[in-house]
Amino acid sequence: MDKKNRNGILIASFPVIGLLMFAPAPSAESRQNPEISNSQGETLYRSACSSCHGTDGRGAPQYRVGFDLPLPDFSDCSFASREPDSDWLAIAHDGGPARGFSELMPAFGEALSFGEMKSILSYIRSFCGNEDWPPGELNLPKSLVTEKAYPEDEAVYSLAVDVEGLTGVSNKIVYEKRFGARNQFELTVPFGWAEKDVSGTQEPSAENWLGGLGDIAVGVKRAFFHNARTGTIFSATGEIVLPTGDREKGFGKGTTVFEPFVSFGQVLPSEFFFQSQAGFELPADTDRSGREAFWRLVLGRSFTSGRFGRSWSPMFEVLAARELESGQKVQWDMVPQMQVTLNRRQHIMANVGVRLPLTDGDMRDTQLLFYLLWDWFDGGFFEGW
Ligand code: HEC
């Protein structure tokens, strides 16, 4: 793509994403949090829900409910804390199928008001009662590049395609696994294909393409701070990138890289959200790869189609990186993008965007970015559609 086209995309993407983000406020009954009395919630829970979910929230025994589908355990913090109120409200209002669960979970939309359902939910929340676990409301939509602060059980496949110049395709599979209330382990396996630099002397052909494994990374994240009331979460991650890639083919740095970084997430009014990440890339062998500082910012907003339907999140991401040598300039990129939930359970999501270099555009390619995300704790890939 030539420079003019690229500038065209850049200019066109601002108003499109901008309009989406600043459109009228979505019908967000979900995140309002009226003052509710827990005793009303308890009374209602006991009359409407406990026959199946049990007075202790762990699920009534099978012989009493008359079906053998396992009931959720609301006292299990690992499960209950991560489910945002909006999802549970959708299920209580429209019944299990609203989120791809069984119709054995009845709809209460006719029998109970929103206020009553919210009071029940806040009572259900008290079954876990341990505030060490960051609530699901702080699990903000994942952008294409910036690392989230929320600890996750997730598998993500991502793809980056150079759309101009020396063409390359990079893929990455990321596996994330939570442990304890606030920690997460992470494994990243990159692989890709790149066109050999044949300097325009040959016709393009498949033989000019090389495939290979990249640098595998392992990391540990910890959410050091969160506040459900202010909608804030902050975490720190240490990652080690191993030189498993073939440097000769261009698939690795050829040296171990230590990557410490911090991530921050903030819920904003009207379904807006802000996220940021900042850190360093510190290679063991600085002859092979330079030390670098990076920082990334994301502003986005979520929209729900209908009352409890699909969720759309347009986001603007700004990326900055600077080699830590004197005289180096900051490299800036911009990534307008759109995330969407694909299934009813909303645990399968996709995001697509364009990474546009704002500096040194002649040396760095515009890239098309995409990911497919599976929040595997919420069910199998083919469940809940
Ligand atoms: C007739 C039995 C029954 C009653 C009454 C009932 N539920 Fe359920 N509920 C279920 C079953 C069964 C499931 C599990 C569905 C599945 O796994 O597919 C469920 C699941 C749920 C979930 C989903 C949890 C998750 O996995 O994310 C929520 C939330 C919930 N119920 C809330 C309520 C509330 C609130 C009430 C009372 C207003 C209520 N239920 C009353 C049977 C019931």
Ligand 1: does its nearest atom lie under 6 Å from the Cβ of 101? yes
94 Cα–ligand 1 center, Å: 11
pLDDT at 12: 57
Concatenate the DSSP letters of all residues of 21-40 into one string.
HTSSPP---SS------HHH
Least confident of 4-8, 73-77, 357-361: 4-8
Is the C-beta atom of 113 inside 6 A of ligand 1?
no
Cα separation, 73 vs 296, in Å, equals: 38
Dig out the tokens for 39 from the structure.
Answer: 């005793």
Domains in the chain, please, with CATH?
38-125 (1.10.760.10), 135-378 (2.40.160.40)
pLDDT of residue 34: 44
Distance 88 CA to ligand 1 centre (A): 9
Neighbour count for residue 215 (Cβ, 10 Å) = 23
CB 9 within 8 A of CB 366: yes
Percentage, residues of the chain above pLDDT 70: 87
* Least confident range of 10-24, 109-123, 247-261, 333-347: 10-24
Q: Point out the least confidently predicted range of 20-34, 299-313, 353-367.
A: 20-34
| pLDDT over 80 (residue 16) | no
The pLDDT score that the predictor gives to residue 349 is 97
Residue 31 has pLDDT above 60, yes or no: no
Q: State yes or no: pLDDT of 4 exceeds 70.
A: no
Helix (H, G, I), strand (E, B) or coil at 90: helix
| Mean pLDDT calculated for residue range 304-326 | 94
CB 90 less than 6 A from any atom of ligand 1: no
Give the 3-state secondary structure percentages of the chain, helix then strand then coil, rounded to 5.
20, 35, 45
Distance CA 234, CA 147 (A): 11
User: How far, in Å, CA of 255 to CA of 242, rounded?
Assistant: 7
Q: Tell me the mean pLDDT in the region 194-210.
A: 67
* pLDDT for res 24: 57
Query: Coil, strand, or helix at residue 56?
Result: coil
pLDDT (tens digit, 9 = 90+) per residue, 134-192? 999 999 999 999 999 999 999 999 999 988 866 788 999 999 999 999 999 999 999 99
Residue 229 has a pLDDT of 93
Q: How far is CA 299 from the centre of its chain?
A: 13
Can you give the pLDDT at residue 134? Answer: 96
Dist CA 367 CA 77 (whole Å): 40
Q: Tell me what the mean pLDDT of segment 50-59 comes to.
A: 96
pLDDT at res. 27: 42
The Cα–Cα gap between 139 and 83 comes to: 9
**Ligand 1 site, residue 53, Cβ cutoff 6 A:** yes
| Average pLDDT score over the chain | 89
- Count other Cβ atoms within 10 Å, centred on residue 274: 15
Helices 85-94 & 114-125 angle (0-180, nearest 10):
130
* Candidate from 36, 43, 53, 125 with most ligand 1 atoms within 8 A of CB, to mutate: 53
Q: Is-contact 315 299, C-beta < 8 A?
A: yes
Q: How far is the CA of 312 from the centre of ligand 1 (A)?
A: 26
Quote the pLDDT of residue 196. Answer: 72
